[in-house]
Amino acid sequence: MAEHLTAKILKEHLLSGRLEPGEEIAIRIDQTLTQDATGTLAYLQFERLGVERVRTELSVSYVDHNTLQGSFENADDHRYLQSIAARFGIYFSRPGNGICHQVHLERFGIPGKTLLGSDSHTPTGGGLGMLAIGAGGLDVAVAMAGGPFYLNAPAVLRVNLVGELPSWVGAKDIILELLRRLTVKGGVGRIIEYGGPGVAQLTVPQRATIANMGAELGATASIFPSDEETRRFLTAQGRGESWRPLQADPGAVYDEEITLDLGQLEPLAACPHSPDAVKPIREIGPLLVDQVAIGSCTNSSYQDLLLATKILEGQTVHPRVSLVISPGSRQVLLMLARSGNLEKLIATGARILEPACGPCIGMGQAPPSGSLSIRTFNRNFRGRCGTADASVYLTGPAAAAVSALNGRITDPREWGDFPTLPGTPPVIINDRMIITPPEEGGDVEIIRGPNIRPLPLNSPPPDELPMKVLLKAGDHITTDQIMPAGAKILPLRSNIPAISEFVFAPLDENFARRAREASGGLIAGGENYGQGSSREHAALAPMYLGVKAVLAKSFARIHHTNLVNFGIIPLLFESPADYEKLQQDDLLVIEKLREQLDQGSVSITNRTQGYRFTATHQLTLRQLRIIKAGGLLNLARIEG
């Protein structure tokens, strides 16, 4: 029987379950990655599992998020992460070596392997033909300990690429067009598999750009075939032996298929404040620009920055515009320097940042109040940039560079003929900033700074559960809104009591105080609750404040799993009218909780308004055991 690429990889790694959409399956994980914003918790959890050494083929700890060291917390976390890596057999990518997704693509990714990462943009590895999935840190910790990764078998959506890309249209425009068509919910429950004759014209970095922003569709993963272009990329990286050909069989049947004619695309931008608010740049209008940021894990390859250099070369950034450029890896930065392109960028007035996530997560370079920022990043949620009233537009590097020169949002086709780009120079392979773990790590001391606090645990829920509605939120609540990032808050990632003070701060700065006064309660949400980053702090910190359940219209995949892992019950409104009727501060009560959860629906009494309504859930039998135990770590302790 003809099989698509996704089925081939899943079957190679399937440990239990059936590959039927919606069925819970368990798969073996070959590789893991963590980054420092989520890694500290992941490794604190890994320590709790009592394993002497990681049991994956490869695990890598990256430092790329919390690289601004305004005080001791980030530096202490880095030291902890490095000592943990040496102790348990994990490769350690030092600060300044680059963004985890870019470096993993360059130095570690292998076609056909499974990769689980504690970062929502882990699917970037799909550009190499990996089945790469983002998850919460606890799921990654379990995988490092040799445990399976559980997920609902996804439907597979084939995106058939045909035609040829016009001048000035790139990979970013392909994924923005899909976001325009499918929305930020369009990939939920799906793996997106790319195929068709149009794939051959895309380089691995371009494929990685598309796979990276599949996270914005809500997709479990995105994957490209492993072909001759993949072999060229890996050979250039000195890793040609890692290549294997992988593609779908002719006649493979998909759950859904769409065709995208590349020849019909034009330069696009995602408008504030959502990645799916996409318009042709020519329709946006001559809006003045205050800041341009080129980089992030989406568009920071050598090819991306070479294109920006060719546009900017010999000119000066517009007087009103602050232009910042962050290479995706130390390799990219070295290649820019050796080729002379770094000097050209500096001469234009661009500010060169270290190879790190930086502005993408609000870690520096917040734009001015009320300003407009163009970024080649993947998310433009309100306030994520660090400035609550800024407007962020997402484009490809060509549009960003032309706009930096003109001082207004500009269709890059106004620049003239597409520049002639020289061939990519030889790749500079220098892994001295990646520390290989010792053969034996039993004698390594794990170094913990004073900000690294013990991991809080939940308790099993009582059979009668009273909960005050602490907050009624709208649709598409992001994990940035639940648990903000930025230079002020990110250093507290390993200190749950401290970081919990900022839970829901963008929506209600008094939320933490109110939650403590109410001794916890419930959150009500709309559609796609918990979209965005995989940060499990958005579940763990509310749990610490006493949140027992979230009642929403629908959930984003990773956040739903994170809630379960920390013992917070994710419930679904049976009727939209029940969401409309519910009010903040209502007192809700669930009686015979365990019995009702086993039945699949829960009757809830609103004692404030004097009525009853029904909620449902999508919990598997395994997830029900986790909830009843008060969280996955509790269950692991109970079951040994």
pLDDT digits (tens, 9 = 90+) for 209-256: 999 999 999 999 999 999 999 999 999 999 999 999 999 999 999 999
Q: Tell me: the pLDDT tens digits for 252-300? A: 999 999 999 999 999 999 999 999 999 999 999 889 999 999 999 999 9
CB of 25 within 8 A of CB of 10? yes
Q: Identify the pLDDT of residue 486.
A: 84
Q: Identify the pLDDT of residue 640.
A: 53
Q: Tell me: the pLDDT tens digits for 149-163? A: 999 999 999 999 999
Tell me phi and psi for residue 636, to 5 degrees: -60, -35
In 274-386, alpha helices (H): 281-284, 302-312, 330-339, 341-347
Q: Identify the pLDDT of residue 424.
A: 83
Distances (CA, A) of 343 to 329, 403, 430: 17, 21, 21
Q: Identify the pLDDT of residue 1.
A: 85
Average pLDDT on 455-471 reads 95
Q: Identify the pLDDT of residue 487.
A: 83
When mean pLDDT is compared across 70-74, 111-115, 318-322, 433-437, the lowest value belongs to 70-74
Q: Tell me: the pLDDT tens digits for 186-210? A: 999 999 999 999 999 999 999 999 9
Q: Is 132 helix (H, G, I), strand (E, B) or coil?
A: strand
Right CATH number for 465-638 from 3.20.20.70, 3.20.19.10, 3.40.50.1000, 3.40.50.150? 3.20.19.10
Average pLDDT on 171-179 reads 98
Q: Tell me: the pLDDT tens digits for 24-46? A: 999 999 999 999 999 999 999 99
Task: Cite the beta strand spans of 340-464 per DSSP E.
Answer: 351-352, 372-375, 391-394, 434-435
When mean pLDDT is compared across 56-60, 69-73, 138-142, the lowest value belongs to 69-73
DSSP per-residue codes, 495-525 = -HHHHGGGTTTTT-TTHHHHHHHTT-EEEE-
Average pLDDT on 347-358 reads 95
Right CATH number for 268-410 from 3.30.499.10, 3.40.50.620, 3.30.390.30, 1.50.10.10? 3.30.499.10
The CATH homologous superfamily to which domain 5-264 belongs is: Aconitase, domain 3 (3.30.499.10)
pLDDT level of residue 401 (50, 70, 90 thresholds): very high
- DSSP conformation class of 150: E
Residue 577 burial class via C-beta count within 10 angstroms: exposed 0-12, middle 13-18, buried 19 and up: exposed
Q: Identify the pLDDT of residue 69.
A: 85
Q: Identify the pLDDT of residue 71.
A: 87
- DSSP conformation class of 117: E
When mean pLDDT is compared across 15-19, 452-456, 466-470, 506-510, the lowest value belongs to 452-456
Average pLDDT on 308-331 reads 97
Q: Is 613 helix (H, G, I), strand (E, B) or coil?
A: strand
Sequence-distant (6+) residues with CB within 8 A of 403 are 289, 292, 321, 374, 395, 409, 410
In CATH terms, are 5-264 and 268-410 the same topology? yes
Degrees to nearest 5, angle at CA 536 with 531 and 541: 110
Q: Tell me: the pLDDT tens digits for 587-640? A: 999 999 999 999 999 999 999 999 999 999 999 999 999 999 999 999 877 665
Query: How is the chain split into domains, by residue range?
Result: 5-264, 268-410, 465-638
On average, the pLDDT of the chain sits at 96
| Of the candidates 598, 477, 616, 469, the residue with the CA atom closest to the CA atom of residue 533 | 477
Q: Tell me: the pLDDT tens digits for 92-137? A: 999 999 999 999 999 999 999 999 999 999 999 999 999 999 999 9
Residue with token string 């829960």: 602
Q: Tell me: the pLDDT tens digits for 478-495? A: 999 999 988 889 889 999
Task: Cite the beta strand spans of 341-406 per DSSP E.
Answer: 351-352, 372-375, 391-394
Q: Tell me: the pLDDT tens digits for 380-391? A: 999 899 899 999
- DSSP conformation class of 416: -
